[in-house]
Amino acid sequence: MTEPIVISANITQYYPILLTTVTLHCNVTLGTASKIRWLKDGSTISRNISSRISGGTIDTESLTITNVQNVDGGNYVCQATDAVYNKIVNTDTINVSPVGFPVIEIFPTTYTASYGNQVVIYCNISSASPAVSEVYWQRSTNNQVLKIYNGDVGYQGSSPTTPSLTINFVATANAGIYTCLARNEVGTSNSNTATLTIIGGLLSVHVTPWTSNVAKEESKNISCNVTGTPALTCITWLFKITESTQQLILNTTNRNKYTVGSAQEHYLTVLNFQPGDSGTYICRATNAAGSSSSNPGSTLSYV
């Protein structure tokens, strides 16, 4: 007497990587099949629908899927019809769960921030199976790469739940090209890049005149022009004796010797000029980025 057909699937769980090829194994181990049919989520698979599917025949029972896509995920069954008894038998359910590298994107890709402000560089994880376990960033400046991790001082975000990067206090050093990276069990993906440009920084400082001869007991006015952002917080005047490298902070509160300008107009007036007043006067401007000085200063000579 002819044995009834027996069909089996030795693997019932597949995790194919997206865009690769997977073969779902099915074997007639006893008897003869007159027909082999595959079902996905209860519906018959037609090889005419997709050129990516092959096999699933009497000669080749196993089903091969090329260029695996997320839509290929689901529950499959290999079904055989007994050539003798006309009985239909099924394998156990075969689950296919495609996996792949995270799909991530930065948008927009151009950012401009003012010195001292906060900026957010947006990163979106549009697809990740398995789930993302880590997110970090890279900044490239002058062929130097800095990795930025969740918890690094001065930053927020850079995590699977909040992948975007927040820079709390933007400084000149933050300018550069940024990449968002996400890792899961399959591997690590890089996003496209974003460029961050910083506006502002140390102030630009210029004095006039650069040089001047001053007669005894005359008064001489030196103007200081300051431009840039962030806003100026204070002006300091320095003095360097001729042929000396040491810069001394002038005591501009001495109203018998000096007068200074206002927050809107920056100047220093040297009163009752004497031989000891000869030298270079330097205007130093300070803002949130730091301090910068006029170069050159204003050199006054006693005559």
Which residues share a beta bridge with 124?
105
Residue corresponding to tokens 């006054």: 300
Q: Give the pairing type, strands 211-214 and 298-302.
A: parallel
Extract the tokens encoding 243: 């042929």
Both structure tokens of 265? 């107009």
Residue 1 pLDDT = 67
Tokens of 41: 């989520």
pLDDT above 70 for 148: yes
Beta bridge partners of 224: 207
Averaged over 278-295, what is the pLDDT?
96
In 3D space, the residue among 162, 174, 181 whose CA is nearest the CA of residue 200 turns out to be 174
Residues 186, 99 contacting (CB under 8 angstroms): yes
What percentage of the chain exceeds 90 in pLDDT?
94
Q: Classify domain 6-96 by CATH number.
A: 2.60.40.10
Confidence of residue 178 (pLDDT cuts 50, 70, 90): very high
Average pLDDT of the segment spanning 82-90: 96
Please tell me the distance from the alpha carbon of residue 221 to that of residue 268, in angstroms, as a whole number: 6
Same fold, 6-96 and 204-302: yes
Nearest partner of 9 among 128, 92, 88, judged by Cα: 92
Q: Name the band, by pLDDT with cuts 50, 70 and 90, for residue 277.
A: very high
What local confidence, expressed as pLDDT, does residue 242 receive? 83
User: How many CB atoms are closer than 10 A to CB 31?
Assistant: 18
Spatial distance between the Cα atoms of 243 and 191, rounded to a whole number of angstroms: 56
The two tokens of residue 207 are 């004095």
Domain limits of the chain?
Answer: 6-96, 103-199, 204-302
DSSP three-state, residue 172: helix
- What pLDDT is recorded for position 50? 79
Q: Do the Cβ atoms of 111 and 120 come closer than 8 Å?
A: no
Query: Does residue 155 have a pLDDT over 90?
Result: yes
Query: What fold does the segment set 204-302 form as a domain?
Result: Immunoglobulin-like (2.60.40)
- Give pLDDT, residue 47: 74
Task: For 169-195, give one letter per residue: b (16+ CB within 10 A) or e.
Answer: ebbeebbbebbbbbbbebeebebeebe
Q: Which residues have CB under 8 Å from 230's CB, separation 6+?
A: 114, 115, 116, 200, 287, 288, 289
Highest CATH level, class, for 103-199: mainly beta
Mention every residue, 6+ apart, whose C-beta is less than 8 A from residue 42. Answer: none
pLDDT value at residue 184 = 96
Predicted confidence (pLDDT) per residue in 188-240, tens digit: 999 999 999 999 999 999 999 999 999 999 999 999 999 999 999 999 999 99
